[in-house]
Amino acid sequence: MRLPPFQYLGPTTKDQALDLMIRHQGKIKIVAGGTDIINRLRQRLVTPDYVMSLGGLAGFTGIREKKGQIVISAGTTLREIIESPDISQAFKSISQSAGLVGAPPIQNIATIGGNLLQDTRCLFYNQSQLVRDAAPHCLKQGGKVCQAIKGGKYCLSVYQGDLAPSLIAFNAQAVLQKAGGSRTISVAELFSGKGKNPLHINDDELLTDIMIPIPKGTYGSSYQKLRMRKGLEYPLASASVFVSLSKKGVIEEARVVIGAVGPAPVLVEKASSFLIGTRPDKAQVEKAAEAALRAAKPIDNLALPGSYRRKMVTVFTKRAIEEALRDAQEANV
């Protein structure tokens, strides 16, 4: 399928990129690795006048430590994240997340920024223009009804990024830069929870860095993903968990985040509350997994039925909690 016509822009500095974003605001799309946006262009899901590549930007890749944080530039590839000892040693679930994206050729060129800022997906939306035009357009295409739910008035397309749940579990922050300044928000705040416009990022803002605080003490993490095949698959449900233990083996911190069950990743605070202040045991893990189940509200708009995906949230949350606890306990010996 051919790409639609557009003008290619290739800035070499962030200032040039920001200037182009202002000059062509509302008419420009950004490409980093291109593994997601190229498919969307081919399907005519987006038809911008301009496509701006960030591949030539100086200082837009790399992983570094700064003031008790690991800073990952937005143009850093998933391969660099997978192979980074700083990431694999301090943030196991983030390394796991990157390693479960697509397949090795995709990981070699896809970037953390692109994975984080990908659009929501839906069986009724992610089709060719010919297929989409065969039925009334859905809300995300500018229509009047959600095709996934009869008479639905809200877009319920699904955010299927792998990295966001794990970044949220580690309290990561995102740096958004625009001409004349920048702002830093939590990764969780990037998401609006609305399928039609899922991201809280302005047209003149560029994601430049992800900052992850290095936890203190003894901790563990895990990312688990439901998928149809072992590779080349978006998550159909996912769970990412972070836990930290006191010297006596009591859970001091816990964050449970589920993904691919709605328009945004969900931080399940109720699940965390069942774990914090307790010694790890099967009953508390079961309660936390059940809390994740209650927070998940998937519908039939991906490759597997929503009812099945919801049940699997319990299974994968439990697996993630158990693995995170096991790693934390081994480190606490």
Instruction: State residue 333's pLDDT score.
Output: 67
Same domain for 13 and 75, yes or no, is no
Give dist(CA 249, CA 330) in Å, integer.
11
Strands in 251-259's sheet, in edge-to-edge order, are 218-226, 237-245, 251-259, 266-267
Same domain for 99 and 171, yes or no, is yes
Q: Domain ends where: 147, 178, 213? A: 213
pLDDT in tens, 116-158: 999 999 999 999 999 999 989 999 999 998 999 988 899 999 9
- CB contact at 8 A, 145 and 136: yes
Same domain for 90 and 22, yes or no, is no
- CB contact at 8 A, 112 and 206: no
pLDDT in tens, 81-119: 999 999 999 999 999 999 999 999 999 999 999 999 999
Same domain for 49 and 85, yes or no, is no
Give dist(CA 58, CA 48) in Å, integer.
25
In this structure, is residue 33 part of a structural domain? Answer: yes
Question: Within 13 Å, how many C-alpha atoms sit on residue 300's CB side?
Answer: 6
In this structure, is residue 248 part of a structural domain? Answer: yes
Share of the chain above pLDDT 70, in %: 100
In this structure, is residue 146 part of a structural domain? Answer: no
Residue 68 banded pLDDT, cuts 50, 70, 90: very high
CATH of the domain at 285: 3.30.390.50
Same domain for 107 and 206, yes or no, is yes
User: Which amino acid is residue 201, in one-letter code?
Assistant: I
In this structure, is residue 149 part of a structural domain? Answer: no
Q: In degrees to the nearest 10, what's the CA dihedral of 132, 135, 139, 140?
A: 0
Same domain for 274 and 165, yes or no, is no
- CB contact at 8 A, 160 and 259: yes
Instruction: State residue 231's pLDDT score.
Output: 85
Same domain for 228 and 283, yes or no, is yes
Structure tokens at 93: 């679930």
Same domain for 324 and 248, yes or no, is yes
Q: What's the mean pLDDT in 323-327?
A: 97
Give dist(CA 66, CA 55) in Å, integer.
24
- CB contact at 8 A, 32 and 54: yes
- CB contact at 8 A, 280 and 325: yes
Model confidence at 223: pLDDT above 90? yes
Q: Could you please report the per-residue DSSP string of 60-110?
A: ---EEEETTEEEEETT-BHHHHHH-HHHHHH-HHHHHHHHTSS-HHHHHH-
User: Under 8 Å CB-to-CB from 143, ≥6 apart: which residues?
Assistant: 136, 137
Question: Within 13 Å, how many C-alpha atoms sit on residue 248's CB side?
Answer: 5
Q: In degrees to the nearest 10, what's the CA dihedral of 63, 67, 188, 168?
A: 70
In this structure, is residue 164 part of a structural domain? Answer: yes
Same domain for 109 and 224, yes or no, is no
Same domain for 171 and 252, yes or no, is no
CATH of the domain at 188: 3.30.465.10
Same domain for 310 and 288, yes or no, is yes
Please report the beta strands in the chain, taking only residues with DSSP state E, as ranges in sequence order. 7-9, 28-31, 50-53, 63-66, 69-73, 173-178, 181-186, 206-213, 218-226, 237-245, 251-259, 266-267
User: Which amino acid is residue 109, in one-letter code?
Assistant: I
Closest CA to 42 of 7, 4, 9: 4
Instruction: State residue 216's pLDDT score.
Output: 93
Give dist(CA 174, CA 206) in Å, integer.
10
In this structure, is residue 126 part of a structural domain? Answer: no
Q: What's the mean pLDDT in 197-221?
A: 97
Same domain for 67 and 1, yes or no, is no
In this structure, is residue 150 part of a structural domain? Answer: no
Domains identified in the chain, total number: 3
Give dist(CA 200, CA 40) in Å, integer.
20
Instruction: State residue 135's pLDDT score.
Output: 87
Burial code (b: 16+ CB inside 10 Å, e: under 16) for 236-266 equals: bbbbbbbbbbeeeeebbbbbbbbbbbbbbbb
pLDDT in tens, 276-305: 999 989 999 999 999 999 999 999 999 999
Checking DSSP bridges between strand 237-245 and strand 251-259, what pairing results, if any? antiparallel
Domain carrying residue 185: 63-117+158-213
Q: Domain ends where: 58, 86, 107? A: 58
Instruction: State residue 151's pLDDT score.
Output: 83
CATH of the domain at 3: 3.30.43.10
Q: Domain ends where: 58, 86, 103? A: 58
In this structure, is residue 123 part of a structural domain? Answer: no
Q: What angle do CA 187, 192, 195 make, to 5 degrees?
A: 125
